[in-house]
Amino acid sequence: MKPFTYERAASPAGAASAAARRPDARFIAGGTNLLDLMKLQIETPAHLIDVNDLGLDKIEPTPEGGLRIGALVRNTDLAADARVRRDYAVLSRALLSGASGQLRNRATTAGNLL
């Protein structure tokens, strides 16, 4: 792995502007994908911006009758949410078919979209 610097972002816009200032930076969420790629030197970011402290870890109902899922909600928590299991069973089933229990405990909604 190549050496890199690290910061914990304090707000979503702060994270985005820190990343825009440094094209050699990457966001890190659960790290389950990015760290593997860094160990193999497929990804060689010089700077990591940790997005785990942004308060984006909630699942909330929307006024339209849907659900807003924070980017940092873990796969395990999303799959187990009672509203997801009842109303969006395809999502719960898809999540549980992926990776392993340990990985799903770390993997995030945003990370799994990419």
Partner 1 sequence: MACNKRRPGSGCSALGGYSRQLAVVGGSDACIATHPSDMAVAMRVLDATVEAVKPQGATRTIPIADFHRLPGDTPEIETVLEPGELIASVTLPKPAGGMQHYRKVRDRASYAFALVSVAAIIQPDGSGRVALGGVAPKPWRREDAEAEFSRGAKAVMAKLLAGAKPTEENKFKVPLAERALAAVLAEPRG
Name the one range near ligand FAD by CB under 6 A: 3-11, 32-40, 57-65, 82-90.
32-40
Distance of CA 80 to the CA centre of its chain: 17
Long-range contacts: 52-55, Cβ < 8 Å, 24+?
Answer: 52/8, 53/8, 53/9, 53/10, 54/9, 54/10, 54/11, 54/12, 54/15
Q: Does 99 bind ligand FAD (CB under 6 A)?
A: yes
Determine, following the binding rule CB under 8 A, whether residue 51 of this chain makes contact with partner 1: yes
CB nearer to ligand FAD: give 34 or 79: 34
Closest CB 17 distance from partner 1, rounded Å = 4
Contact 70, 57 (CB under 8 A): yes
What does residue 77 show for φ and ψ, rounded to 5 degrees? -70, -35
Residues near partner 1, by CB under 8 A: 12-13, 15-21, 23, 27, 42, 51, 54, 56, 62, 64-71, 75, 78, 87-91, 93-95, 97-100, 109-110, 112-114
